[in-house]
Amino acid sequence: MASSLRAVELLLAIALVVLILMQSRGTSLGSVFGQEGSVFHTRRGAERILFNVTIAVALAFLLIALGLARVAG
């Protein structure tokens, strides 16, 4: 069971990295330090779906990590 949880965690980790990198495309280095042109930004369409999927994958990764910690002892 632990090996299957490890495989799932590995897949979730890869998916999480890819999802995060997809969100940061198109932003300049200035936005990293808070120098974005607009003060308020609303997520719409595909950007909102991508954001919500990223949160779901992150939560799944956390739950699998906690499950692995519990199985390990």
Total structural domains in the chain? 1
Residue 16 lies in a domain: yes
Asked if 54 contacts 23 with a C-beta cutoff of 8 angstroms, the reply is: yes
pLDDT of 8 higher than 70: yes
pLDDT of residue 37: 54
Query: Domain limits at 53?
Result: 2-24+44-72
Residue 34 lies in a domain: no
Residue 63 lies in a domain: yes
Between vectors from CA 61 to CA 32 and to CA 43, what angle results, nearest 5°? 40
Give φ, ψ of 40 to 5 degrees: -120, 130
Residue 37 lies in a domain: no
pLDDT of residue 2: 82
Residues 6+ apart with CB under 8 A from 9: 61, 64, 65, 68
Would you state the structure tokens that stand for residue 9, as one six-digit string?
């965690």
pLDDT of residue 34: 57
The per-residue pLDDT for range 11-63, each reduced to its tens digit, is: 999 999 999 998 865 554 445 555 555 555 677 888 889 999 999 999 999 99
